Structure 1
Amino acid sequence: MMAGGLSESRPATEEIQNMVDAVKSQFQKKSNEECTEFKAVSYKSQVVAGSMYYVKVHTGNNKYIHLKIFEPLPHTNAPLELMDYQCGKTKNEDIAYF
Structure 2
Amino acid sequence: MLPGGFSEVKCATPEIQAIADQVKPQLEKKENTTYQVFEALQYRMQVVSGTNYLIKVSVSETEDQCVHLMVYVGLPPENQEPSLTAYQLDKTKTDPLDPVA
Aligned position for 2:71? 69
62-71 or 27-36: which moved more? Answer: 27-36
Structure showing the higher strand proportion among its residues: 1
Aligned position for 1:96? 98
Unmatched segments (≥5 aa) in structure 2? none
For normalisation by structure 2, the TM-score amounts to 0.93
1:59 equivalent to 2:70? Answer no
1:5 equivalent to 2:14? Answer no
Aligned position for 1:15? 15
Supply the RMSD in Å over aligned alpha carbons: 0.8
Cα distance in 2 for residues equivalent to 1:30 and 1:50? 24
- How many residue pairs match? The answer is 98
- Cα offset for 1:31? 1.5
Cα distance in 1 for residues equivalent to 2:35 and 2:80? 26
Instruction: Name the SS of the counterpart of 1:74 in structure 2.
Output: coil
- Cα offset for 1:62? 2.2
Cα distance in 2 for residues equivalent to 1:91 and 1:21? 19
1:20-57 Cα deviation digits (max 9, x unpaired)? 01111001001222212000000000011100000000
Fraction of identical pairs, as percent: 39
